[in-house]
Structure 1
Amino acid sequence: MEKSKIANLPTKFGNFKIQSFKENDKEHLVIFTENLPEIPIVRIHSECLTGDALGSLKCDCGEQLQKAMEIINENGGMIIYLRQEGRGIGLFNKVNAYALQDKGFDTVEANHQLGFEADLRDFSIVEEILKEFNIKKIKLLTNNPKKEFSLKNIEVVKRIPIKPTPNPYNEKYLKTKKEKLGHKL
Structure 2
Amino acid sequence: MPDRYNSVVTTSNSVRQLAAADFPTRWGKFRIFGFNGKFGKGSGQQREETAVALVMGDLKATPPLVRIHSQCLTGDVFGSLRCDCRQQLEMALSMIAQRGAGVLLYEQQEGRGIGLMAKLQAYELQDAGLDTVEANERLGFKADHREFGLPAEILKALGVSQVRLLSNNPDKVAALERGGIQVIERVPCEVSDNPHAEDYLKTKKEKLGHLFSSR
Asked if these proteins are the same fold (TM beyond 0.5), I'd say: yes
Residue 138 of structure 1, aligned match among 153, 163, 180: 163
- Which residues of 2 match residues 42-57 of structure 1 at below 5 A? 42-57=66-81
Residue 70 of structure 1, aligned match among 94, 97, 101: 94
Kept in 1, the 8 Å contact 2:49–2:150? The answer is no
Q: Deviations over 1:36-60 (max 9, x none)?
A: 2431000011111111111000000
What does residue 177 of structure 1 align with?
204
Task: Name the count of aligned residue pairs.
Answer: 185
Provide the identity percentage. 48
TM-score, normalization: structure 2?
A: 0.83
Distance 2:211 2:119 in 1: 23
Q: Which runs of 5+ in 1 are unaligned?
A: none
Query: Which residue identity lines up with residue 33 of structure 1 in the other structure?
Result: M
TM-score, normalization: structure 1?
A: 0.96
Query: Which residue identity lines up with residue 134 of structure 2 in the other structure?
Result: E
Distance 2:143 2:149 in 1: 18
What does residue 142 of structure 2 align with?
117
Q: Deviations over 1:11-35 (max 9, x none)?
A: 1121111000023544310001032
1:30 aligns with 2:53: yes
Aligned-residue CA RMSD in angstroms? Answer: 1.2
Distance 1:27 1:154 in 2: 19
What does residue 5 of structure 2 align with?
none
Of structures 1 and 2, the larger Rg is shown by 2
Residue 34 of structure 2, aligned match among 2, 17, 20: 20
Q: Which runs of 5+ in 2 are unaligned?
A: 1-14, 39-47
Distance 1:127 1:5 in 2: 18
Q: Deviations over 1:141-176 (max 9, x none)?
A: 000000001122111000000112222210000100
What does residue 80 of structure 1 align with?
105
